[in-house]
Structure 1
Amino acid sequence: MKKYTYNEITLTQYIFLIHGAQVGIGVLQLPRILAEKAGTDGWIIIIFGWIASIVASLIIIQIMKKYPEGTLIDLITKYFGKWAGKAIALFIALYFAYSAFLILQRSILFIQIWILPGVAGYVLMFLFAIPTYTIARSGIRIIGRYAELVFFLLLWMPFFYWFALWGNHHWIHLLPLFKDMKKVLLATKTTAYSFFGFEIVFLLYPFLQNKEKASVGIIIANSLSMLVFLFITLVCFAFFSPDEITHFNEPTLSILKVVEFRFLERMEIIFLAFYLLVLSRAWMPYIYGAVFCTSWLFGKQNHSKHLLLLLLLMVVTIYFVIPTFNQNDLLQGLSAKIAFPFIYIIPLFLWIYLSIHERIRSRFIK
């Protein structure tokens, strides 16, 4: 009997959960970061980052195939013992909670700067916590449906940039191509950070109905994210000059300041208000993943109390520690250093170990 049958997700939900976890706060700053690292050839880095994420994703899928009815925690427990399983559950819970908190914190900072400068951070965190609790307490299936709904509801948002580029673009900014490929190659690691999010497959895999399509699904999810990153980067590179773009913290929003209608001004504020729905798709899977792991640690089926406690803890943290952009940047840098080996390096060695273990075991059985 399948352990997680009660909360199974479809392939579409699986794709949009991964895609939603990847496309978050990073999109707003990505064009500036790429321009600083590699100039207007920065868009090429996205393709290299996409290839790296595809390879890492497929390795994770191969690992999960070793124990298809369980999460990474169950797999580690099976092969390495109970205490190893508890250790990885605690690590993933802390990592996911930390990642969700950073996304929420950054979202609050954006709102305070662009929309509601006079509202306290803990108030905004509390307002975010209410819908997050309502959706996440119902399980990963409901979060998957929410991610799917938000994706299709916001398909019209790229048209914001069509209006911005109308008469304000210069594709010559991208020329000449391949100016300094050495810089591009050295900066590939930067784009690899932007694709963080596919690691939630470690917990999503046993919930997927058709596990045979897990590899195809994760390739589609990564490809959708790559297209979003590539689109927004090329738009910003065509709009801003190579030197000008580095002076805007969030060029993805700043570009929309030129868009005005007789009946509406400040389009960037309208865009950001809708973009909060996109950001919510990023923090919700992480929050669910954190409380899923803590519930597993304590042997509980219902994660609602853990979810409520985690959200209240985040509200209290924001109340006592007033967030700043510099602080959030430092915390994101720390998160990237922790996540990179967990996502790109450790899975490779784990896959090699499990493959060797299975071969040795099959020889002894024969």
Structure 2
Amino acid sequence: MPMNEKIHFTQIAVIVYLIQSGIILFALPRLVAEAFGTNGWLGIFGLSGIVLVNIYLIHLVYKKGNGRSIFLILEQNLPKFLLYPLYLYLIVTLGLLGILVAKNYSLLIQLTMFVDVNPNLLLFYFVIVSIFFVSKGIYNMGKIAIVFFFFTIWTIFLLLIVAPEFSFTRLTPFLFQNPLDPMKSGLESYTAFLGFEIVLFLFPYVQKDGNFGKAIVIGHLFTTFIYAAVCFIAMGFFSLEQLRNILYPTQVILKHMETPLIERIENLVFGVFLLKIMVTVVFYHWAALEVTKQIFPKTKELKLIIGLFMGTFLVALIPTIQREVNELFSMVVTPYVFFAFFFPILLLFLLWVEGKRARREKDIA
């Protein structure tokens, strides 16, 4: 990447949106119905508020660290015996989160479109394209993300097709009545917003124009709008009990859509979602690559990329059905939710210690 090129405001916002709004959108209306009960779509705004706190912490790290790489902050303030376990955790977790999203998508494609296709073969093709994507570098990845955004954003307007089927009586006047599992389903709903934390690894690559924090917030709020709109429509399309008994409510809504030109819109949408899933996979692996380079600074980047993708691909071969993928994903993502929240707090603490040490040394001098 040329030294004078930086990721700008629009690219950051689009990257955040595309990483966040992934395949979980097909299950999200059911999850919020289980977590919050009647009018559970409003719970999306509560979860979004928690994410905004997390984003504010990330912005503080960027501001107080003067845009320094998080690796510089960590390595200047932590001993190596603490750094390497942290790096290893990040590599494994980020890589697995990316590849398991791709595996889940491959299984959904098999389930909905190509029953006879081997999902692992689809996953392999996915990995090959992702390797090429990541090898182009972060600036080109940002430009490709903009293109993918314009290829996918039109799908939100499909909600207008089912507007005649929407009924306010299904929403009921009651708020958050009869939730089934607020903790488990609430946490699963929160994971739909993960992806914003990847901006921690973008610090050295962004334009220093003061808009970094605003870009993250705009990308996140756009995701919030999409999620709330889809869940709102779903809760006016199905009754609460129906919603809780449908594994992928958004997919069922798509099946009800008909236009004079396209008979099976859900197949088209699934195909378009490939681009969103691709962005999620490549940016999580790119972040894992950034961490890997701290451990193996002298190894050629392409070797690290291939090794990283092959490693995660082999792990993704283990689960063979969607339930197994979801269980493995849950094992990885649950601790990561808390890590993503507290990691910026750790970085802020290290910056505070660093500042205090610098002031003490200045006073002594």
TM-score by length of 2: 0.90
**Structure-2 separation of matches of 1:19 and 1:262:** 31
2:284 to 283, 286, 289: 286
Q: What whole-Å deviation, never above 9, does each CA across 1:238-269 have from its counterpart, x for those lacking one? A: 11111111121111111011122455322111
Letter in 2 for 1:339: Y
Give, in angstroms, the shift of residue 332 of structure 1: 2.2
Unaligned runs of at least 5 residues, structure 2: none
Give, in angstroms, the shift of residue 100 of structure 1: 0.6
Q: 2:33 matched to 1:26?
A: no
Task: Provide the aligned length of Structure 1 versus Structure 2.
Answer: 362
The 1:238–1:95 alpha-carbon spacing in structure 2 relative to 1, beyond 3 Å, is: same
Q: 1:4, 1:69 within 8 Å by CA — same for their partners in 2?
A: no
**Structure-1 separation of matches of 2:128 and 2:332:** 26
2:333 to 327, 332, 336: 336
Letter in 2 for 1:209: Q
Q: 1:45, 1:191 within 8 Å by CA — same for their partners in 2?
A: no
Letter in 2 for 1:40: T
Q: 1:22, 1:196 within 8 Å by CA — same for their partners in 2?
A: yes
2:207 to 209, 216, 233: 209
Give, in angstroms, the shift of residue 364 of structure 1: 4.9
Unaligned runs of at least 5 residues, structure 1: none
> Which residue is equivalent to 1:108?
106
Q: What whole-Å deviation, never above 9, does each CA across 1:192-248 have from its counterpart, x for those lacking one? A: 322111111221111111252221111112111111111111111111111111121
Q: 2:110, 2:116 within 8 Å by CA — same for their partners in 1?
A: yes
**C-alpha root-mean-square deviation of aligned residues, in Å?**
2.5
Give, in angstroms, the shift of residue 149 of structure 1: 1.2
Identity %: 22
Give, in angstroms, the shift of residue 356 of structure 1: 5.0
Q: 2:181 matched to 1:160?
A: no
**Structure-2 separation of matches of 1:57 and 1:14:** 13
Letter in 1 for 2:30: R
Give, in angstroms, the shift of residue 104 of structure 1: 0.8
TM-score by length of 1: 0.90
Q: What whole-Å deviation, never above 9, does each CA across 1:43-64 have from its counterpart, x for those lacking one? A: 1211111111111111122123
2:168 to 166, 171, 179: 171
Give, in angstroms, the shift of residue 97 of structure 1: 0.4
**Structure-2 separation of matches of 1:189 and 1:122:** 28
**Structure-2 separation of matches of 1:157 and 1:122:** 27
Give, in angstroms, the shift of residue 181 of structure 1: 9.8
Query: 3-state SS of the aligned residue for 2:153?
Result: coil
**Structure-2 separation of matches of 1:41 and 1:189:** 18
> Which residue is equivalent to 1:198?
196
> Which residue is equivalent to 1:220?
218
Q: 2:116 matched to 1:138?
A: no
**Structure-2 separation of matches of 1:96 and 1:35:** 28
Matches within 5 A, 1:164-313: 164-165=162-163, 167-180=164-177, 189-210=187-208, 212-300=210-298, 302-313=300-311
